[in-house]
Structure 1
């Protein structure tokens, strides 16, 4: 009997998803030492996919390693967060400006439906569901651009600010995004790319303010 083998990358991706969620949720805290053997046992996989997942997380700035010393969850540094924030805000603003001329009523309806899910997740206090629904809102215009390079760049950088986004949606200021999302959908429906871009730019303001309040100085933040 010959059966197709399961690609190793699927196991690596499974390990990555689990570890990323644990870091974002704070189960794995900033500065916590990570041992691949312990993590492999915890997620029910061998060490190889776990090591591959850790290498990807290191590339994304969520894990840091010092050879022959440690592998640990990267602490939150103000400068790293600010740099990722500025780039992501610019890319999202560019994306919606490019997307609006290509968007259909179906795109706008998807955006509104995702925003309903977002509001419901906030009401339920489900931060992970809120993050996922927020992604769904913005995925609509990312899909509409048809620009794979733009999307892949955003996806690569986004995990670097995930822990701060978790804090934002766990607080009242995160609820401000509900109304902004609706206004973005309205602008997209009206074909107003400039207004949509201005609103997306403004939608990032709460995260920028959170960076300022989270870091009193340039020391490490140990918020999980």
Structure 2
């Protein structure tokens, strides 16, 4: 019988704040106050300060010279550069793995797509993000390159935190439609068509992010 090891208070605060940033509950520019956070989360000041330091390293919280802390503001350059990096890494992994996919792999991708859509309908952004990422992970791991998958995981997580997409965001539609098209192509045995469609997802996603999130910049 296995037991889950409870996180430290600092780890728990990091996870909670990270999730709030991902879901947009803590919006870019929000002032972070140690005492208020400690009171709200029911912990002492120390784990809050340690969590803020960790999230600062991750680029999620900015610490000004006067020591004030704010949730990092999203910039067009920052978001688009992350999408570009994610595209290069993920598309390489998809290309290397797509020809190794079996019927079992494709069936699992179909299941992840279902979970992805259902989580969005339920408003669960974190579950949707995990299921959507797993869709690509299945293909990338089929390439046998686990180091690449580790790098993709880091960039995907960073991108999701920066974009902080809500369940109602129009950006999800690009992935839902793209995944469905890829599955249809894979089920028809057209791996090269599936690869081309996967690449197109990133082109469309980047254009939407630039147009809808940064139209005033």
2:82 aligned with 1:89: no
Q: Structure 2 regions of 5+ residues with no counterpart? A: none
SS at match of 1:29: coil
Q: Secondary structure at the match of 2:32?
A: coil
Separation in structure 1 between the aligned mates of residue 188 and residue 35 of structure 2, nearest angstrom: 54
Deviation at residue 136 of structure 1 after TM alignment: 2.5
Counterpart Cα distance in 1 of 2:141 and 2:201: 19
1:222 equivalent in structure 2: none
More moved, 66-75 vs 45-54? 45-54
The aligned counterpart of 1:70 is 68
* Structural mapping, 1:85-164, within 5 Å: 85-162=83-160, 163-164=162-163
How many angstroms apart in 2 are the aligned matches of 1:188 and 1:51? 48
> Is this contact kept in 1: 2:115–2:131, CA < 8 A?
yes
Report the 3-state secondary structure (helix = DSSP H, G, I; strand = E; otherwise coil) of the residue aligned with 2:180.
helix
Superposition RMSD in Å: 2.8
Q: Deviations over 1:171-216 (max 9, x none)?
A: 4563343232133234455665543332222122342123222213
State yes or no: 1:195 paired with 2:193: yes
Gaps of 5+ in 1: 1-5, 219-224
Q: Given the superposition, is the C-alpha separation of residues 71 and 165 from structure 1 closer, same or farther in structure 2, using an over 3 Å criterion? A: closer
Structure 1 residues 180, 38: CA separation in 2 closer, same or farther (over 3 Å shift)?
same
Contact 1:33/1:71, CA 8 A, preserved across alignment: yes
